[in-house]
Amino acid sequence: MKKNLITFIVLLSAGFILNGQTTDKLVSNCVMNAGPDCKYLKDFRIQLSKAPAAGEMRYKAQMSLWKNTKYKFSLCTAEDSKGELILTIKNDANQVVLSSFDAKTGKTYKSVELTCNRSGIYTLNYDFKDGQQGSGVGVVSMVR
């Protein structure tokens, strides 16, 4: 009886553990799209409702970047999103270092690369173009 109870508990626990390890396809695809020359570092999952008015980018995260290291920032937008995911990177002086959206042409890039000139904490600002609602993933990789 005790043996059966222990077996039941182990099987039940294994079921919960395996069920909890489902992978997010959007994240997996975004990591794979970074390319074979990239080493995955971190991902940011973004889900935002429509902005009441255009303004500051709504999702902010800080990340330490190292001098003389080349980084690739990949952006993937979920199919059911109304907007397209964009990224702006700012340094510690709040100056824009890189953006995936070119305001002059209106073009949005799915990935951008940055060779860091100065080690420090950088702010990664994510939002959806024109403050639209959506969900997506930003993946940071190091280019080898």
pLDDT at position 66? 97
pLDDT at position 19? 43
Q: How large is the average pLDDT for residues 40-52? A: 94
31 in a structural domain? yes
19 in a structural domain? no
Residue of higher predicted confidence among 52 and 47:
47
131 in a structural domain? yes
58 in a structural domain? yes
Q: How many CB atoms lie within 10 A of CB 71?
A: 21
Read off the pTM.
0.81
Full domain range(s) for residue 102: 24-143
Residue whose token pair is 């690739």: 72
Separation of alpha carbons 92 and 57, rounded Å = 16
Is pLDDT of 113 > 90?
yes
Q: Are the C-beta atoms of residues 40 and 28 closer than 8 Å to each other?
A: no
Confidence of residue 33 (pLDDT cuts 50, 70, 90): confident
68 in a structural domain? yes
Q: Provide the percentage of residues in the chain whose pLDDT is more than 90.
A: 76
Separation of alpha carbons 44 and 137, rounded Å = 6
92 Cβ contact partners less than 8 Å away, ≥ 6 residues apart: 120, 121, 122
Confidence of residue 135 (pLDDT cuts 50, 70, 90): very high
99 in a structural domain? yes
Separation of alpha carbons 134 and 117, rounded Å = 32
Q: Provide the percentage of residues in the chain whose pLDDT is more than 70.
A: 84
Confidence of residue 55 (pLDDT cuts 50, 70, 90): confident
Is pLDDT of 120 > 70?
yes
130: domain CATH number is 2.60.120.380
* One-letter identity of residue 106: G
pLDDT at position 6? 59
49 in a structural domain? yes
User: Total structural domains in the chain?
Assistant: 1
6 in a structural domain? no
Q: How many CB atoms lie within 10 A of CB 78?
A: 14
Residue among 40, 18, 28 nearest 76 (CA): 28
Is pLDDT of 127 > 70?
yes
Residue among 28, 47, 62 nearest 139 (CA): 28
Q: Tell me how far CA of residue 89 lies from CA of 11, 16, 20, 65, in angstroms.
A: 46, 39, 33, 11
pLDDT at position 14? 52
